[in-house]
C-alpha cells in the first residue's frame, strides 16, 4: 500500500511530536514520584517527632485566661470626625 508523500510527512511529524511529549510526560511523572516520596519521608519524620504534653499557658494547673471586656459597646460607637469625613464628597 502506498501513502502519499504529504500524508507520510505529516504522520512522521506527528509521531516525532508524540515521542517528545511522551518523554516529557515520563520526566514529569518521575518528578512527581520523587516529590511524593520526599513528602512521605517528611510525614514520617513529623509523625516520629515527640508531641509536647503541655503548653506553657496550662502548666502547673493554671488554665488559660481569656480577658473579658465589661462593655464592648464602645467598639461600635461612631466617631463623629470619621462620619464627617466619609460624608464629604470626593474631589
Q: What are phi and psi of 73, to 5 degrees?
A: -65, -30
| Per-domain boundaries in the chain | 1-49
Q: What is the pLDDT of residues 35-86, one digit of tens each?
A: 999 999 999 998 888 766 655 555 555 656 666 666 666 666 777 888 888 8
pLDDT value at residue 11:
94
Write the DSSP symbol of residue 3.
Answer: -
Q: Which of 10-14, 18-22, 66-70 has the lowest mean pLDDT?
A: 66-70
- Alpha carbon distance 56, 64 (integer Å): 9
For residue 23, pLDDT over 80 is answered with yes
- What is the average pLDDT across 16-27? 95
pLDDT value at residue 61:
59
For the record, the C-alpha cell of 9 comes out as 510527512
Amino acid at each position: 500500500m502506498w501513502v502519499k508523500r504529504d500524508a507520510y510527512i505529516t504522520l512522521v511529524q506527528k509521531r516525532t511530536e508524540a515521542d517528545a511529549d511522551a518523554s516529557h510526560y515520563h520526566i514529569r511523572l518521575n518528578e512527581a514520584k520523587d516529590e511524593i516520596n520526599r513528602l512521605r519521608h517528611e510525614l514520617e519524620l513529623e509523625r516520629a517527632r515527640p508531641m509536647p504534653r503541655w503548653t506553657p499557658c496550662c502548666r502547673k494547673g493554671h488554665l488559660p485566661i481569656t480577658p473579658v471586656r465589661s462593655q464592648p459597646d464602645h467598639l461600635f460607637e461612631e466617631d463623629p470626625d470619621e462620619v464627617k469625613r466619609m460624608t464629604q464628597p470626593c474631589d
